[in-house]
A and B are shown apart, each in its own frame.
Chain A
């Protein structure tokens, strides 16, 4: 990995009008002391995010070791400090600066896709952020000030959400980092094992060959057959080992899949801003997280399915000679409810009415006829088995 590039301070850049320097050409000569790389092989260039003027490390030490000093670039009057200097990540310093700004923006505008009602809202948000970033990076003086104000305002208003998202983001990063590392480790492990296995196999083969020779030596007559037998057995052993290896593949796959979820969980913030000053930001479509979630009702095992009959109505005091006999005491003692019984009788009577198999087939709800047939056939088969056992 190439994370060896130091990338220290969070840029505290207040974007102000700077005549940005042209990217250092060939990065072979220090523009301050005019040393060329030829004379100093490991010359290193540093920049200070105050003004992004690059100079060699010698110059930096020379100029800033005794405390803050002015930037040596002609026309640049910024005061720089020694500890603000770092080596740039990008060759193109405009990009370096842009990324520093992005870091600030990203720290504030860190909403997730699932914080928004629709994808479109999210995309609009992304574009808004991008516009703002552009304003900071390359806007006119006025635009930049606006953008800066907007940024700060947003930050002030959504402190809690930002913090929460930041934390979630960190966790997600951590998680993915850990996952990548784990995968790498697992791969390394497997590699080692494969090598070991190959070695073993080779050893095995050598041993087999020796054994073969031995048997041949032992039994001069008819020895060949024995030898072949031994070799065969050896082969089988190798075979077994390979199968073992194959099984292992499945496990590792499952383990990797396990650590997937758990990112998400971002929170958003209020929609309409009430007061309006400098082109105050308002983002549409952000889910309103402030509204308390609807109180959870009691658990509904049927998931909202309604069992109120739609084709008939159950009236109190239903009476029919067939069922009236169940209304007596003898039936009710055990907690038996006559109403329950009546309801069920009606339900069964109406079940299946107004169900058209053709429709069901098209939509494909429930069991298809084929499946039902299959099941009953299966049950029949079970049944017959039992009978046989009997």
Chain B
């Protein structure tokens, strides 16, 4: 269908539109017009991606700025899905407009997924593929080849140089499959095609890391202009991605290998000094001049990546005492030896970067400044030495990156040395965690660079938490409710078992037989009444294991077995995917199955259980994080000190966002239906932290149910769902045709006029405007309050 928002004509590739989709577009347009950031929460299964794409593409094509879209998603499959949607959208536009627009949309993923080289692509690990590819495609390799030396190159890569650099691939939207096929036909590398075409695309779809991980972002995304529209989809975990991208762990083994790397470097330097002194001298002179090498322009074959540094530093010359290759290697060795000594300490140490640096200086005479240049200097050296087997230098590079980060950031990072794996371990296995505590650091360049950043997800409540944690101001913050013609999902909070005893996975009671039995009977009951598939989430693997074995002893699993096949998620990805496959088959044939999984596992994040694959989701216990972790504790403290987010608020928020993710798994569209059961008495106090669309559908009477009440509710609901339901019933309510949309637009326009008039009136009388959005804040805050149990649990964990 076609319609206008303000003056912007939008082509929407479906004959009907959901009201929330329309609202989403309106808000999105507002954000783009005003320039600024937005946090938008849109119920899962309401076609968020297509909404987003059709608005932004319309925006791009209509306005003269042609602002580029950078769409970031989390997984490869999500990226591919988005590309397919985009392709369909463009096809629709072409049909409607009668001509093909000048448009190019590309996705980027790792070399591992896009490589065509017959032997390289067979490598299992992504980093090996990267390293091998680099050794085939590096600039000097090509030079050597031209000189007639016998070196291996990749034809797929070299063929690209025969093409026009801005037109490596025709216009259109290229899915990964399409790109691979095109690459195979024209014998050109899909990975580099996508990388090099990035600047010439209207829409880029790739993973978060290409923007957030400073080591990658610098190379891949630096050419993108300021007025790009950046969208982070499925962004409910974005803070963790940010943090992970800046954190490193150093182990004794990695230090050993780093030492070996340093030794290799030394030999190479000596070799080169004997054979090709000039290259070293050239590099040295460049460093003296403070030039960032001219050939660095073609950064795509850069061997190693550097974390971003403040710009002023990048312009400065490399300090004199690490300019010479041999000086630098000695410098590295001293640093590594120092770290090795630190690792020998047998007690837990947590230290801030300044204190680490002070100690380092005292014992090794390494100053902060050369340390900051460490990563960059190493990259330069590796390039000069023309090393090809980069994977050998990976650990060395990790150490160098760590050095750079620790010397660059005083705040927001912490070093934690844990000599033992667990409290009970006898044999030391020290790990030095260099952990980033502040999610805002990694994402700051993104907000600084781009005018509009949109953060969106199906579950991103409470909205105000994200701007706070990521350090930005949101111009638009909106959570949409779900319009439904019938109540197609039923959220319930079960607080008591059938014997009226309250149920909870809180630390004190989680292993009590009565609680375990109550959970067991809840499972059995729902397994009995649920048609087809059912998914059960536990707070942790540990708890899942223990409760399953207890259920086994109580004969509960045998009972469940009567109704459904039982499958279990494990930390092993391979096993889990087999289990999922079996689960799917079971759901399509016969009685269906129960999948037992973990609220923070792979299943809860990436797998959809639409239609028969998921009719019930049962969330057993509030999925709190494991609070004993020192890293988490440090982060909590940081959040409290810096952003005034209290520990309990954050833990509760974090638990609820995972719970919401789990719930969202079963409802993937408006014609879908499902039961959402939250089984823990503590959920009652936390219901306001659920996304708006779930919370709205949760009746007050359903927040304090016992097992049998919940079961009879569910029965009634399922009976209702079994009634025939035609698409026509949704017309005008949960889906709009063109007519409905016009009516709505007219109504909105009227309202706007009225509002304006009213405001005029108010102004004339000198009355206060404002005050509208201010309410509600007060009680929102106390919503985070944990109840006593939570605290008791946290304390119990602390005291252990």
Residues of A bordering B, CB below 8 Å: 1-5, 7, 89-92, 95, 98-99, 102-103, 106, 119-120, 122-131, 134, 173, 176-177, 179-180, 183-184, 187, 190-191, 194, 198, 202, 205, 235, 238-239, 242, 245-246, 249
Contact = CB atoms under 8 A, between A and B. Distances in A.
B778 interface: yes
A2 B319 contact: no
A60 to B, nearest CB: 21
22 contacts: A1-B351, A2-B342, A3-B359, A4-B345, A90-B337, A90-B338, A92-B337, A95-B334, A99-B363, A99-B364, A103-B365, A119-B317, A123-B288, A127-B320, A127-B323, A127-B327, A128-B320, A130-B320, A130-B324, A191-B637, A202-B788, A249-B641
Contact of B319 (A103, A126, A239): A126
Contact of B337 (A91, A102, A191): A91
B328 to A, nearest CB: 10
Contacts of A92: 333, 337, 340
A127 B324 contact: yes
B358 A2 contact: no
Contact of A106 (B290, B351, B365): B365
Contacts of B338: 90
B508 interface: no
8 closest A-B pairs by beta carbon, nearest first, are A126-B320, A123-B320, A127-B320, A126-B321, A130-B321, A2-B345, A95-B337, A102-B365
Contacts of B271: none
Nearest to B648: A198
B320 A124 contact: yes
Given A90-B341, A129-B321, A99 B334 contact: yes
A14 B34 CA distance: 70
A1 B349 contact: yes
Contact of B323 (A123, A245, A249): A123
B285 interface: no
Interface string B311-344: 0000011111101101100100110011011101
Contacts of A130: 320-321, 324, 327
Contacts of B344: 91
A59 to B, nearest CB: 22
Given A1-B349, A123-B323, A177-B358, 4 more contacts: A92-B333, A106-B365, A130-B324, A239-B778
A2 B366 CA distance: 18
A5 B342 CA distance: 10
B424 interface: no
A211 B333 CA distance: 67
Contacts of A191: 637
B327 A99 contact: no
Interface in B468-496: none
A176 B362 CA distance: 13
B352 interface: yes
Contacts of B764: none
Contacts of A134: 326-327, 330
A249 B644 contact: yes
Interface of B: 288, 290, 316-321, 323-324, 326-327, 330, 333-334, 337-338, 340-342, 344-345, 349, 351-352, 354-355, 358-359, 363-365, 637, 640-641, 644, 646-648, 778, 781-782, 785, 788, 791
A233 to B, nearest CB: 13
A5 B343 CA distance: 13
Contact of A95 (B316, B333, B345, B647): B333
Contacts of B334: 95, 98-99
A373 to B, nearest CB: 23
Contact of A98 (B317, B330, B349, B640): B330
Contacts of B788: 202, 205
- The dominant DSSP class at the A interface is helix
A92 B260 CA distance: 13
B340 A91 contact: yes
A38 B387 CA distance: 43
A308 B556 CA distance: 100
A134 B358 CA distance: 24
Contacts of B358: 173, 176-177, 180
A238 B342 CA distance: 44
A235 B324 contact: no
A178 to B, nearest CB: 11
A173 B354 CA distance: 12
B459 to A, nearest CB: 27
B359 A123 contact: no
B363 A89 contact: yes
A103 B352 CA distance: 25
B355 A125 contact: no
A68 B365 CA distance: 32
A239 B781 contact: yes
B640 A194 contact: yes
Given A90-B337, A95-B333, A127 B321 contact: yes
Contact of A123 (B317, B345, B351, B637): B317
Given A95-B333, A99-B363, A245 B644 contact: yes
B782 A235 contact: yes
Nearest to A190: B641
Contacts of A194: 640, 646-647
B351 to A, nearest CB: 7
Max chain A CB contacts within 10 Å: which of B326, B355, B791? B355
Contacts of A7: 363
A7 B342 CA distance: 14
Nearest to B318: A123
B764 to A, nearest CB: 19
B644 A246 contact: yes
A2 B349 contact: yes
Contacts of B316: 119
Contacts of B330: 98, 134
A3 to B, nearest CB: 7
Contacts of B781: 239, 242
Nearest to B334: A95
Nearest to A126: B320
A99 B365 contact: yes
Given A202-B791, A239-B778, A249-B644, A125 B320 contact: yes
Contacts of B646: 194, 198
Contacts of A235: 782
A173 B363 CA distance: 13
Nearest to B369: A113
Contacts of A124: 320
B365 A123 contact: no
Nearest to B345: A2
Nearest to B331: A130
Nearest to B785: A205
Contacts of A245: 644
Contacts of A173: 358
B320 A180 contact: no
B355 A180 contact: yes
Nearest to A199: B791
Contacts of B644: 245-246, 249
A180 B354 contact: yes
Contacts of A126: 319-321
Contacts of B364: 99, 102
A108 to B, nearest CB: 12
A370 B60 CA distance: 34
B253 to A, nearest CB: 15
Contacts of A183: 352
Nearest to A179: B354
A92 B333 CA distance: 10
Contact of B354 (A176, A187, A249): A176
B23 to A, nearest CB: 33
Contacts of A131: 324, 327
A316 to B, nearest CB: 55
A191 B636 CA distance: 11
A62 to B, nearest CB: 26
Contacts of B355: 1, 180, 184
B728 to A, nearest CB: 46
A99 B782 CA distance: 56
